[in-house]
Structure 1
Amino acid sequence: MDRRTFAIFCHHLRTIGGLKGTKNMDVEEMVAMFLHIVSHDIKNRIMRRQFAHSGETVSRQFNAVLNAVLRLHELLLKKHEPILGSSTDERWKWFKNCLGALDGTYIKVNVSALERPRYRTRKSEIATNVLGVVSQDMQFIYVLPGWEGSAADSRVLRDAISRTNGLKFPQGFLAPYRGQRYHLNDWDIPPNTPVEFFNMKHSSARNVVERAFGLLKGRWAILRGRSYYPVKIQCQIILACCLLHNLIRREIPIDPLEQAIGESVEDNCDEDESVGNDHYTHIKISNAWTSWRDNLAREMFDQWRNRRHT
């Protein structure tokens, strides 16, 4: 985050988030302390020495900034922008009117011994299952943390849809074909059928979610290690980091972290840590929606094949 973005962030926290300085600490110092903690996963005892404040003050001001950041959700969450028919983006131009891509990731949390079995992932880590919906420019449109690591992806998605202020979509989810090649590293041999071509392009577009989660974890160290916060606070921190991610993507034309690590950014979000290799294909789709997908797959494949032969 550069100085200009930092100043914009502090302004938003004052005017929208309601954050106010205290007798001994102004807003800028409070925000700097908060960013230092989430960026480097610094513990309270270290912050006391670095900022020359008591542990109680550090904790209190961290929570004050966290609550103020969460009040910015309407401002910082990306609004739906459907893909235009005139799009030239090779990842997205095939999916006219698509609003974004969704997937999930695991982020470690701190829970009681009694709750650990429910939060245990298939890799035996104690984590929350986080659903994210991302736009084509890698900004978060929707984030739902809090589900146990053992929860199935379809269960998390159903919950997101059923909530009063949950995930809204006009038509449906465009899932890949199951039982076919899908992941980007599967395409050493070009696709031979409409189904394979659809899956290749679907994977290329959906990869934006892995890259966004990779940037998120790469930038905010507090999301990578073992959490020492209660699960409720950790989930609030996850959402706050997503909002900060959007602010940086919005205010800085070239994301410094993405520029530094390039296309390998998704490596920070290990594919084995994603919610599941089937993604969200367990949501039942109608015959009409399946037929629409089949027609789209044939149209995409025919266009691609005709261009190759001209």
Structure 2
Amino acid sequence: MKKKMKAAIFASVASVILVGAALLRKLQRRRRRLPRAPFVNHAAEREEYINSILHGSETYCVNQIRMTPIAFHRLCHILTEGEHVRPTIHMPVTEQVFIFLHIIGHNVRFRVMGSRIYRSTETVHRYFKVVLRGVLKLYRTLIRLRSEDTPQEIRNSRRFYPYFKDCVGAIDGTHVRASVPLEIQGRFRGRKDGTTQNVLAAISFDLKFTYVLAGWEGSAHDSRVLNDAFARPGGFSIPNGKYYLGDAGYGNKNGILSPYRSVRYHLKEFSDHPPENEKELFNLRHSSLRTTIERGFGVLKKRFRVLDAEPFWSFETQVKVVLACCVVHNHIMGVEPHDHIMEAAMNEVESSDPHQETQSRRESIEDSRLWNAKRDEICQAMWSDYIRSGE
């Protein structure tokens, strides 16, 4: 009896095993029929994507990385030659710079950039910081006053020469979007909507930045930022006898030539009414020449969309990014400035300046009598020639 029971148990177990084996074979056959995802060679796909931009049409390249292929490869060469950015076993310099330019050009998030080139978010972030540090090391080389000679834009114009022969550029502040902790947001709310940082910049008439100071709160007055720029060790300096054109907010002081107050100034105010006296003529030509700073800011923000978007990194990095954009801008202006971004930005910039700010009593006291006399001298000479020639 016991033997029969054992035999029956063995038979049942055997049948279960056989059924299980049959089901397993059937499942395996079914799995073999399932289509597999195609294999993707990430390295090859990445290389093809980057090469399609760098070796495609010039317009497409400028749209993607905000500069021509020649300017891109020149920038890579400068960064490599100075050992500011080095190739690694994982990523060449061209890809590192490509990532950086694409992010600041389009305000692309790290994870989005990573998905486009099959890199992790951490990798994109790490190499972005590497190139950012490398570009900032070019600041002293690229952002400086190149020559103290009279600019061609002045020398070749009867409206400006010889009256502004000692002028080397224009100076003004612009507001760039800023993301700061809630407890200090009040200090960063200025004339613009939202929180911003007030960026001071001096620019020459060939649209190259000669000085940039970023990081001030949006509520800070332009003259206060300028005073800080002068006071900083190795900060803003103006060659003896030379000056920059500034608006009324800076006051007329050593190295800064401002327009007359309570006198027509904006270009649109003269559209139907030519100047009627020497001060109006001076303000008209001062305004015409100072639009250089507006064009410079316009081109910069048109090329680097990160400057007009809500930042997604720390404030320290936000300040560095502003400086880096100015460095890259100067590099482009020195290699191949006349691309379609430049043309579009120049068409969009309005000819009139922002609303003039009034100075405080303390700031007006600081006006230099010497520079008031210099302005009057230029003004009288300009008006005398205007009356004599009729133009």
Q: Same fold (TM over 0.5)?
A: yes
**In structure 2, what residue type is equivalent to 1:183?**
H
Q: What secondary structure does 2:173 align onto?
A: strand
Runs of 4+ in 1 over 6 A off after TM superposition: none
**Structure 2: distance between partners of 1:92 and 1:138:** 17
Q: How big is the shift at 1:21?
A: 1.5
**In structure 2, what residue type is equivalent to 1:36?**
H
Q: Deviation per CA, 1:39-69, whole angstroms, max 9, x where unpaired?
A: 1110112111001111111100000000000
1:248–1:217 Cα change, 3 Å: same
**In structure 2, what residue type is equivalent to 1:242?**
C
Structure 2 spans left out of the alignment, 5+ residues = 1-66, 242-254
Larger % of helix: which? Answer: 2
The structure 2 residue matched to 1:12, chosen from 78, 81, 85, is: 78
Q: Check conservation: 1:77, 1:140, Cα contact below 8 A.
A: yes
Structure 1 spans left out of the alignment, 5+ residues = none
1:4–1:83 Cα change, 3 Å: same
Q: 2:142 matched to 1:73?
A: no
**Structure 1: distance between partners of 2:371 and 2:323:** 32
Q: Check conservation: 1:78, 1:135, Cα contact below 8 A.
A: no
Q: Indicate the residue corresponding to 1:250 in structure 2.
A: 334
Q: How big is the shift at 1:31?
A: 0.4
Please say which structure displays the higher CA radius of gyration.
2
The structure 2 residue matched to 1:185, chosen from 268, 282, 296, is: 268
The structure 2 residue matched to 1:21, chosen from 68, 82, 87, is: 87
**In structure 2, what residue type is equivalent to 1:87?**
R
**Structure 1: distance between partners of 2:339 and 2:158:** 21
Q: How big is the shift at 1:90?
A: 5.7
Q: 2:234 matched to 1:234?
A: no
Q: Indicate the residue corresponding to 1:290 in structure 2.
A: 372
Q: Check conservation: 1:216, 1:245, Cα contact below 8 A.
A: yes
**Structure 2: distance between partners of 1:259 and 1:90:** 26
**Structure 2: distance between partners of 1:280 and 1:207:** 21
Q: How big is the shift at 1:255?
A: 4.1
Percent identity of paired positions between Structure 1 and Structure 2: 37
Aligned residues, how many? Answer: 304
Q: Indicate the residue corresponding to 2:173 in structure 1.
A: 104
TM-score of the superposition, structure 2-length normalised? 0.73
Q: What is the root-mean-square deviation of aligned Cα atoms in Å?
A: 2.2
**Structure 2: distance between partners of 1:156 and 1:59:** 31
Q: Indicate the residue corresponding to 1:55 in structure 2.
A: 121
The structure 2 residue matched to 1:146, chosen from 215, 224, 249, is: 215
Tell me which moved more, 148-157 or 83-92: 83-92
Q: How big is the shift at 1:149?
A: 0.3
How do residues 158-177 of structure 1 correspond to structure 2 at under 5 angstroms?
A: 158-169=227-238, 170-171=240-241, 172-177=255-260
TM-score of the superposition, structure 1-length normalised? 0.92
**Structure 2: distance between partners of 1:37 and 1:279:** 38
Q: How big is the shift at 1:259?
A: 2.1
Q: Indicate the residue corresponding to 2:385 in structure 1.
A: 303
**Structure 1: distance between partners of 2:327 and 2:165:** 27
